[in-house]
Amino acid sequence: MDVTWEGIFQFCMLIAAVIALVLQANNKKR
């Protein structure tokens, strides 16, 4: 399995999006 910078970048963006959604959910609970 070849790992490309594009794949790593997309993976990081996906993680960042998930973290953003989690943070928004936590803010709504408060």
Can you give the pTM of this predicted structure?
Answer: 0.65
pLDDT score recorded for residue 1? 66
Residue 29: what pLDDT?
Answer: 79
DSSP assignment letter at 1: -
Q: pLDDT (tens digit, 9 = 90+) per residue, 1-30?
A: 688 999 999 999 999 999 999 999 999 877
Report pLDDT for 17. Answer: 98
Placement of tokens 């990081």 in the chain:
12
Cα 1 from Cα 22, distance rounded (Å): 30
